[in-house]
Chains A and B, each alone.
Chain A
């Protein structure tokens, strides 16, 4: 069974640029959630995708957007990067309606640094 994978591992961008982060869900999982984890904090929910549609969103501005593909992989896009966007971005997959709905399994994360 393949776990959740994310790419890239690390990324450095300049303020104002755009970034795309990628996530492959765990084998058999059809739901992907994205979280932002600032240093010394717990993860904060950004949004979730189920059946290629956004299925809930946290308190993040519209410049945070996402996609889910037919193979359940997902992308997180952030436009007009700000210094405060520097964080670890975590992707988590779950079984959606087919299993324990709130048990989410996390990938290793992408460390984004905005300068």
Chain B
């Protein structure tokens, strides 16, 4: 099935560092969402974006809906150990581009680990 391109695939963080990741697509999306998934659990919604250019924060997390509507970015400032996990971007095409309400399209995830 169709998936979004997330990068990087994995990264190591040291406590206090800022982290950036992004998600790109060849299709225009109506909505972008960012989720975090811990081992053995379901994804947890972090941020939802509905307008091109929109910049939204949730605590130390900031996400942006790209102007082209084909990308989104997530930044984590001053990382802490509990930020470790897998971050997924998800997009929705919107009703005019064949997207049914439930059809979120996910990337493969960015895995955040602690630097040894």
Contact = CB atoms under 8 A, between A and B. Distances in A.
Interface of A: 4, 31, 33, 35, 40-45, 47-48, 50, 55-59, 90, 92, 94, 96, 100-109
A112 to B, nearest CB: 14
A41 B108 contact: yes
Interface residues of B, number: 28
A31 B102 contact: yes
Nearest to A48: B102
Contacts of A103: 33, 45, 48
Nearest to A43: B106
Interface of B: 1, 3-4, 30-31, 33, 35, 40-45, 48, 50, 88, 90, 92, 100-109
A109 B38 CA distance: 12
Q: 3 closest A-B pairs (Cβ-Cβ)? A: A56-B100, A48-B102, A42-B106
A48 B42 contact: no
A115 B41 CA distance: 23
Nearest to A40: B108
Most buried by A among B30, B31, B42: B42
A106 B102 CA distance: 12
Given A41-B3, A41-B109, A55-B101, 18 more contacts: A35-B104, A41-B108, A42-B107, A43-B43, A43-B88, A43-B104, A56-B100, A56-B101, A57-B100, A58-B1, A90-B42, A90-B43, A94-B101, A100-B48, A102-B30, A102-B48, A104-B33, A107-B42
A48 B100 contact: yes
B43 A106 contact: yes
Contacts of A35: 104
Given A44-B106, A59-B1, A106 B101 contact: no
